[in-house]
Structure 1
Amino acid sequence: MNRFHVHLNVSNLDDSIRFYSQLFASAPAVVKGDYAKWMLEDPRVNFAISTTGRAPGIDHLGIQVDSGAELVELGQRLDAAGSTVVPEPDATCCYARSDKMWTEDPQGTRWETFHTFGDAVTYYAADSTCANDGTSCSPTAPAVTPDSARAGGCCAPASACC
């Protein structure tokens, strides 16, 4: 079953943890010095917050899937929607290891689709080409054109990453 994902940038992690813990009537499933995540069942959402240097507010939205096959299917749907799809295989981000695909909707809202398959001890990989600003896992904008992204199909990397 898919899970909706929301990631917010916050200015004060402790205050935000208190607020969202009350709102969700649940403590976060993961808490780090710069990050917290709730894996809620009602509503079914992966809700994450972080203090990683970006302006407070919505960082990105997404859909978390349970398998690689579901990620491929979702990538095909994104490709059919006409968006540039930027694959990010074996990414270390948000204290997890995942295969991801990034895109933007027509308004410029960033969308992350991903399948998580392991934990990580860092927020992002220090050598990640996607940590463009050194503080975030998500690319700020696709570095590939729609044509080059589709050259090998929706899920074929056009470059090493971003």
Structure 2
Amino acid sequence: MRVHISLNVSSVAESAAFYEALFGAPASKRRDDYVNFRLDTPAIHLALQQGDSQAGQGASHFGIELPDQDSLAAWRARLDGAGVAFAPEDAAQCCYATADKLWLTDPDGYRWEVWVRTGEYAEMGATRVTAEASSAACCAA
């Protein structure tokens, strides 16, 4: 089973390069106006097609939850090595949980959170995405 996400992007080539670096894997299918990633880890089918980018039009962000701190450290090292910009957020208090996170933004402004849950939190809290996207809560759908 895979989650499927389809995004309109302003440049298929630029977005494909970003997601290849994000996932550490090549695209599964590549055409001039379309690219997809069918991955087992994370279990996702991400399709990118040429079109009007609609970042911020209802989706707060997308996320990849990792199992442990070692996995987060490995993602951080891989993204650093690939030259992908990210903003770390340690000890975030959001969505009734605490977490260590990496925030990334793709070429069209779609926000991605790579994170590991570290504990429970008694309140909804807030996280970096709320400060950077004022109309969205950290866990809004």
What is the TM-score with the length of structure 2 in the denominator? 0.50
TM-score (normalised: structure 1):
0.44
